[in-house]
Amino acid sequence: MHSVLDAFDAFRDYIGSIAYEALALALLCHAMKIVARTRSWRNIVGCAYPDAEVRWRTILGAYLAGVGVNAIVPARGGDLLKLFLVKRRVEGATYPTLAATLLVETIFDVTMATVLLVWALSAGVLPGRDVLPDLPEIDWLYLFQHPRVAAVVGVVALVAALVLAVVARPKVEAFRDRVSQGFAVLRPPTRYLRLVVPWQALDWTFRLATVYFFLRAFGLHASVENAFRVQVTQSLSTILPLTPGGLGTEQALLVYVFRGDAPTAAVLSFSVGMRIVFITVNVLLGFAAIALMLRTLRWRRAVEAEVPAEP
């Protein structure tokens, strides 16, 4: 918390030097990223339910509502809201199938994130195990510092998964069919390459462009390499979403990856400033979408009232 407060102080000191034209371009790229992202998800859901009407505006509204909630609630609670809103608008939709479509949506993301992570490790961009103990703000650092505890947690999780699989065996067949339906866009693979990959490649292009213009807006050196650095830290900070948007972890990693290239205050200003802008925009758009789709802002009550009814 002390580190986060220091970062906010640094941002406050840099407000007057923000390049607002570059900031506007960053927001434009962020908006185009959302358009590309929702188009790809719409195609995935459309392939899962070929006989139903899957409107892009439904997917767009659900996605905006989800990112709006995720911006302020940890543990990605907004993802459940996404599924809830789409299920209400797509005839015959079920939660297992829709959840599977979200998994399909991450295939390209995991591939790109892995490529960037390999690059960052080979280039020495990320901290090694000898440096990690000096970065206490990283919220998943505890598992690295206590490998025995991490091993116990892993074993317990594995045993729990096996027990759950045995208990739920009678329902596994129907569940498997519904999950398989969510992967329909992969059959044949050429359909995935045609309907999903181009949109997600565009999504990543605008994602990196957004970071590039944020770097310019906050006076840091804007380059493709630095955009890659920032994207790697953002991906790592949300591995375990213990805080909204990985707040705290992202700042600690950014200070390290920009060591020697920019003052710590400038890096913290950039990181917090970008996060504040993202949170503000996502919350405003997200709760506007919730109000339009649910006719109320009490989304928790609506979800809790209907989700348990899923057969």
Q: Structural domain boundaries of the chain?
A: 2-309
Rounded-to-integer distance, Cα 163 and Cα 158, Å: 9
Q: For residues 20 and 217, is the Cβ–Cβ distance under 8 A?
A: yes
- Give the residue among 101, 116, 8 at the shortest CA–CA distance from 47: 101
Q: Is the pTM of this model over 0.85?
A: no
Q: For residues 245 and 238, is the Cβ–Cβ distance under 8 A?
A: yes
Among the residue ranges 53-57, 190-194, 240-244, 254-258, the one predicted with the least confidence is 240-244
| CB-based contacts of 11, cutoff 8 Å, min separation 6 | 268, 269, 272, 273, 276
Per-residue pLDDT of 161-170, as tens digits, reads 666 555 554 5
Rounded-to-integer distance, Cα 203 and Cα 40, Å: 9
Give the best-scoring range by mean pLDDT among 30-44, 250-264, 275-289, 295-309: 30-44
- Predicted confidence at residue 136, as pLDDT, reads 47
